[in-house]
Structure 1
Amino acid sequence: LAIIWIVSVHGMLKLYYGLNEEGKTVDQAESMDPCDINGPHFDPEVYLNKLRRECSLGELMDQETCMVKQIRSLDSDMQTLVYENYNKFISATDTIRKMKNDFKKMEDEMDCLSTNMASITDFSARISGTLQDQHAQITKLSGVHTLLRKLQFLFELPARLNKCLELQAYAQAVSSHRRARCVLQQYSHMPSFRGIQDDCHAIMDKLAQELRQKFRDGGSSAKDLSECVELLLQLDEPAEELCDKFLSHAQSRLEADLLGLEAETDILEFIDRGCNEFVSSLCLVIASYQELFVNRPQEGELASKNIPQMAIGKLHAFVDALATRYFSLVERRIQEEKSVGDNSLLVRALDRFHRRLQAVAKLLPGSAVPSQGTEIVVRAARERIKQYLAALQSFYLNSLTDVRQALAAPRLGGSSAGELLSTLSASILNQIKSVLASVHLFTAKDITFSNKPYFKGEFCSHGVRESLVVNFIKFVCQSSRQFCESAGDRGGSTPPALLLLLSRLCLDYETSTITYILTLTDEQFLVQHHSPVTAVTALCGEAREAAQKLLNHYVKVQGLIISQMLRKSVETRDWVNTIEPRNVRAVMKRVVEDTTSIDVQVGLLYEEGVRKAHSSDSSKRTFSVYSSSRQQTRYAPSYTPSAPMDTNLLSNIHKLFSERVEIFSPVEFNKVSVLTGIIKISLKTFLECVRLRTFGRYGLQQIQVDCHYLQMYLWRFVSDENLVHFLLDEIVGSTAHRCLDPAPMEQSVIEVICERG
């Protein structure tokens, strides 16, 4: 029963909505299955038998539950349809009832209107019949009346023109004369009309003379001049002559505006005044000129002379000449803008300048003025880049001066080298960011010229990246290298600490700063490397080269400073007649103190570095007078002149089999390598000075004491203590070779003296 009910309801709904078999579309395939509940050939008995045969009891119960839900859903839909259609039926009934009342009223009004129209038609027919005979006469009289009015206007024209001339109503006089000119010309063979024509010509000649005088005097405004030119053209004055006079007068006015610009000092006020006065007046002149001479319809002889082409040529020459003078003033004023503190003022001024010139492009297509204005903006941007580069360079040099003063100041309460380096690096980076932010104003979206190809491409890549950032980085590296080239052998006036600090600065630039700055520039200006630009690796290599050169020079300078002390201490002493040593010489203590100070100084900027393993008795190292053995042996208590072999020979044999010491080898970027280089130079100088002197017994013993004292401390600073031992052995051995009475001091006595010292 439920199935039968669903089918019947389904059929009723199809019947209600008019969905019969013929209404199906082609895509709706007709189902022939008797078990298809939605098909037209559905058979309930067959469907039930199939369910009982194929489904279990649980499935039959589920099927029943599903059908109950469908029945309820269909019932609800039917009720909804009934309610909706009932409301529509009521609404349709009300509408029909209302229409009946409205149509009744309209029928009455239409009947009344039909009656009135019939009455009007009858009345019109009677009037036409009455006036049929007088219509021709009325038409004739109307024509005569019109002719009389025209004749009256012609006869009164001279008096009217004189009156207009007295009141200076020149436009009205010209208009009245143009209206009557053709008629007077047509009937000039008649004496009366010829007299009127002659009187009018005389009056108009006088009027033209007054207009020419007014035009020659300049008038009161540009509008009055345009009216004068317009009236003179209507009076058939030569157009070419009027073009020249109009442009000449406009030029005098515009030149006065240009003279007024020279008094302005502020760049923004200068541009505003130039745009509001000169450019606006120029645009007004162009518009008036084109309206008067170019776009004016030509008739008769003027059309055959091709006046518009001639006028356009004169206008272009006029505009180009004045624009050239204006642009020269603008460029000169921009060049005077040397301050780079606030770039927004200049950018706003250039934006207004460029924006106002676009009006000239619209008024005068084909003019070179807008492109010339864009070139001025481009040149100003390039000049600004140069100014910012110079400002960055000046800031860097001033920062170095501050660092030098800080290094030269007393250390008490002063900044350390690490703090100075951090301050210097941060201030330079902040200054670069500030400059990039100022230059970025040229590419802001609200700036009219920022969409030009130059500011989208070349300005960003070659202007900002190459000419500004890359050139500044190169300047930092080059100026740092100059401290090495101009310092001389003794370091000149450059503090060695500054060389060390700059070396670390260049090394930091190589490791991270250069990459950061260029990445920041590329992201901020959307730099696309379509054209060749300086690679980051090339700049990093240049910075590392500068750092290496500075560090090498620092080692050389510090080594030479210590060497100078050692050299003077050797050269100014009489080593043959010296007294028996009782103390370590003060210069040796100074050498150790300076080396310790250098160690602290370098340690503030560079890492420790790698050292070779030290022997347990490095501070107790002893030296042999003879260089035949490098083992740790004590000096012989007495010198034996009859040695079996020449000590010189033994020393040379040992050198053949020992590793060569490179004194001025490249320094690595760590503290141990720097101190090793300085100590090598110092001890090598000590050795060479010893080789140039002659020593007595006590001179040899003093050198022994000094070398032992140096050995006690210097081995801590170098990467390989054997290097210090080797050089000190060379110094003692060389001293013994040049000693007149080589009697070494007991090692125990040397140790006591050194420990006491």
Structure 2
Amino acid sequence: MLKLYYGLPDPAAGEAGRAADAGGPTDINGPRFDPEAFLTKLQKECPLAQLMDCETDMVKQIRALDSDMQTLVYENYNKFISATDTIRTMKNDFKRMEDEMDGLAANMAAITESSARVSSTLRDRHEQIAKLSGVHTLLRKLQFLLELPARLTRCVELEAYGTAVRYHGRARAVLHHYRHLPSFHGIQADCQVIMAGLAQRLRQRFRDGGSGAKDLAECVELLLELEEPAEELCDEFLAHAGARLAAELDTLEAELGPPGGAPTCDILEFTDRGCNSFVGNLCLVIASYQELFVSRAGAAPIAPMARAKLATFVEGLLGRYFGLVERRVQLEKGVGDSSLLVRALDRFHRRLQALEQLLPGAGSASEGTAIVERAARARVAQYLQALRGFYQDCLTDVRQALAAPRLAGKEGPGLAELLATVSASLLGQVKAVLGYVHLFTARDVAFSNKPYFKGEFCSQAVREGLVVGFIRAVCGTAQQFCEAPGDRGGTAPPALLLLLSRLCLDYETSTISYILTLADEQFLVQAEVAGTLGSVLCAEARAAAQRLLTHYVRVQGLAVSQMLRKSVETRDWVGTIEPRTVRAVMKRVVEDTTAIDVQVGLLYEEGVRKAQSSDSSKRTFSVYSSSRQQGRYAPSYTPSAPMDTNLLSNIQKLFSERIDIFSPVEFNKVSVLTGIVKISLKSFLECVRLRTFGRFGLQQVQVDCHYLQLYLWRFVGDEGLVHGLLDEIVASAAHRCLDPVPMEPSVVEVICERG
């Protein structure tokens, strides 16, 4: 508003001005505003009421603008008054300051004139004082030279060897320059004798080892100032320092304990002692050596040789120290929390980084990093072994839990509970181990930023070596139970086979993907560097589950078959009496099959049964329809109409589906029980084919088969399998019967109901 009042251009209003220019003479805010044109336009375009409103609004704006302008004028007037007062005050102040400056200049001129007069008056005396000062300084130097032998003797007696060497160094050049004068020659001879004795004392102290690396460095420095041979001192320095450091390594080695025994301290304490004593003193030795023989003024001729000797010296000591550290790391056999080991390795690695900065090219940092990497790999291998051992312990606990109730005659824990316990225990142990291993890649650990721990350790050692290795160990160990009994020293319980098959199947469906995802997220494993795919592990787990379940079916089928085989082989089928009841072994077969059905149902779903037609549902000797029984068996086994049973059996096989005894087992209860029943009945059939039967023997087989028919069809997916195998067993017995007269179906039904 102030700029507008004074007519000054406003940069901020540039755009508005340019926009207003486009308004022409009728734009009241434009620079080309024409009042006559504006009024003419309003009179033409606006009615009377709008003209009056426009007038009222313009009057208000004029009054407001006038008020604002007056306010600005008043405010600026006050500011102008204040500025005028300020200028008047400054003018008075500057006038006073000019007067003071004129007085100061006059005073300085007077002082300068007085100083010039004093200097001219005292010029002669200054020259005399300078000469006297020079004579005084010379006399003091001569007095120092005359008193030098006594001073040196006193310093040697007080063991102030550094002071004696400093005094001799100050006078040595002067004595050497004026050695042709008799007095100076005598002083020089006395000083040389004294300094020779001092050199002997320093050498003796140096050979004794002093009180530490700092004391050794001080002795060597004094001997070098006495112009002793540098190469000889270099060798002696390294020899004495090496003896001290070797003694410290001997102490560390003693803390490892006897071979095969436990160490005397934990690994963190061992590392601290090694870093603080050995590595710390080694750093002092290196720094002192470099200062004395490499970087010291005048050491250029022997510097390359000194560097080579130092490198050899450090390499030998570090080689032994690294060997001790690796031995101590190998003694860490625990599989619990690895925080103590990680902290020890972190301190070890940090201290070697400092040593590498002190002596570049020694290779201490790279070798230390290699030791840390080997320790991490060994730790991961120990964790994998521990997981395998834990898995074996879980299997042992499961076997004991399965065997204990059977021995005590009590009800034990169910298979579902055991499976849940094993799965939860294994998963919890894997999570704990991954947490322990993750400490090696923590951000506060110095070596975690190395390329190995960012890439290969996470992808190969942890994911492939630990996680994938454990998953394959789970599947591989489980499959070992499918091997011959002699390979494992015993036979695995069938329930254990069933449990392991379900465990591997659960791993295939969910656990493997969960563990791999957990490891990839925790260790930031990239998808492009991941090794074994989850689908490959899932396929291996499913194959293991399939093999275990198939082996379970064969083991259970073999157990039932053994009962049937012994019952057939130990009986006299020719001279047996007329059957009055079902044999006990058949009841046992049904009971065992029922127990297996319950056992499998605890871990696997029911499965799908094959739909049967109305004709196929007609079971042999059904308790519900005796007419169906007669219609099914009368043509084959009625005494009045005998026929060739072998021919009848072959005709029936032509119109029936082939039964595959060892067909693949699916992951459901119906498929498992079907496989067991097929193996059992096939074994029963083969045993019957090897025997000869009398009339009552055939009738006993007929009764037994009818009893099995009443119950076994409930367990299989296709009851036609049971029908066909039992029919074939009866037909085979009739074919090998000396007097093939079957029993009446109604009598068979009564015997089975009574049984």
Question: TM-score normalized by structure 2?
Answer: 0.91
- Work out whether 1:16 is the aligned partner of 2:6: yes
Measure how far apart 1:109 and its partner are: 4.8
Give me the whole-angstrom Cα distance separating, in 1, the residues matched to 2:284 and 2:87.
69
Compared CA separation, residues 742 and 30, structure 1 to 2 (3 A): closer
Supply the AA of the counterpart residue of 1:138: I
Compared CA separation, residues 195 and 77, structure 1 to 2 (3 A): farther
Of 250, 267, 279, the residue aligned with 2:241 is: 250
Unaligned runs of 5+ in 1: 1-9, 624-628
Aligned residues: 734
Of 233, 240, 247, the residue aligned with 2:224 is: 233
Q: Deviations over 1:314-373 (max 9, x none)?
A: 111111111111111110011010001121111111111111111101111111111111
Q: Name 2:558's counterpart in structure 1.
A: 560
- Work out whether 1:537 is the aligned partner of 2:532: no
Compared CA separation, residues 76 and 548, structure 1 to 2 (3 A): farther
Contact 1:489 1:557 in 2 (8 A): no
Contact 2:3 2:10 in 1 (8 A): no
Q: Name 1:713's counterpart in structure 2.
A: 711
Supply the AA of the counterpart residue of 2:392: L
Q: Deviations over 1:472-523 (max 9, x none)?
A: 1111111111110133799952100110111111111111111111111111
Contact 1:389 1:472 in 2 (8 A): yes
Measure how far apart 1:118 and its partner are: 3.8
Contact 2:635 2:641 in 1 (8 A): no
For residue 481 of structure 2, give the secondary structure of its aligned residue in structure 1: helix
Q: Name 2:739's counterpart in structure 1.
A: 741
Measure how far apart 1:712 and its partner are: 0.5
Q: Deviations over 1:196-221 (max 9, x none)?
A: 22222121111111111111111123
Of 123, 131, 136, the residue aligned with 1:145 is: 136
Q: Name 1:5's counterpart in structure 2.
A: none
Compared CA separation, residues 224 and 105, structure 1 to 2 (3 A): farther
Contact 1:637 1:746 in 2 (8 A): no
Give me the whole-angstrom Cα distance separating, in 2, the residues matched to 1:24 and 1:652.
113
Contact 2:663 2:675 in 1 (8 A): yes
Percent identity between the two aligned chains: 70
Matches of residues 52-451 of structure 1 in structure 2 within 5 Å?
Answer: 52-54=43-45, 78=69, 81=72, 85=76, 88-89=79-80, 92=83, 95-96=86-87, 99=90, 103=94, 106=97, 109-110=100-101, 113-261=104-252, 262-263=254-255, 264-298=264-298, 302-303=299-300, 305=301, 307-410=302-405, 412-451=410-449
Matches of residues 533-682 of structure 1 in structure 2 within 5 Å?
Answer: 533-614=531-612, 618=617, 620-622=619-621, 632-635=631-634, 639-640=638-639, 643=642, 646-682=644-680
Supply the AA of the counterpart residue of 1:223: K
Compared CA separation, residues 431 and 62, structure 1 to 2 (3 A): farther
Give me the whole-angstrom Cα distance separating, in 2, the residues matched to 1:514 and 1:711.
43
Compared CA separation, residues 366 and 576, structure 1 to 2 (3 A): same
Compared CA separation, residues 97 and 168, structure 1 to 2 (3 A): farther
Give me the whole-angstrom Cα distance separating, in 1, the residues matched to 2:488 and 2:165.
96
Matches of residues 449-464 of structure 1 in structure 2 within 5 Å?
Answer: 449-464=447-462
Compared CA separation, residues 293 and 89, structure 1 to 2 (3 A): farther
Give me the whole-angstrom Cα distance separating, in 1, the residues matched to 2:207 and 2:557.
89
Moved more, 148-157 or 325-334: 148-157
Measure how far apart 1:538 and its partner are: 1.1
Supply the AA of the counterpart residue of 1:121: T
Compared CA separation, residues 178 and 334, structure 1 to 2 (3 A): same
Q: Name 2:625's counterpart in structure 1.
A: none
Moved more, 89-98 or 253-262: 89-98
Compared CA separation, residues 144 and 28, structure 1 to 2 (3 A): farther
Contact 2:630 2:745 in 1 (8 A): no
Contact 1:621 1:632 in 2 (8 A): no
Contact 1:361 1:367 in 2 (8 A): yes
Compared CA separation, residues 491 and 335, structure 1 to 2 (3 A): closer
Unaligned runs of 5+ in 2: 256-263, 623-627
Give me the whole-angstrom Cα distance separating, in 2, the residues matched to 1:489 and 1:706.
38
Give me the whole-angstrom Cα distance separating, in 1, the residues matched to 2:39 and 2:493.
111
For residue 26 of structure 2, give the secondary structure of its aligned residue in structure 1: coil
Measure how far apart 1:581 and its partner are: 1.1
Q: Name 1:495's counterpart in structure 2.
A: 493
For residue 482 of structure 2, give the secondary structure of its aligned residue in structure 1: helix
Moved more, 633-642 or 179-188: 633-642
Give me the whole-angstrom Cα distance separating, in 1, the residues matched to 2:666 and 2:56.
91
Q: Deviations over 1:511-536 (max 9, x none)?
A: 11111111111111001244461111
Compared CA separation, residues 731 and 250, structure 1 to 2 (3 A): same
Give me the whole-angstrom Cα distance separating, in 1, the residues matched to 2:274 and 2:647.
93
Give me the whole-angstrom Cα distance separating, in 2, the residues matched to 1:65 and 1:518.
83
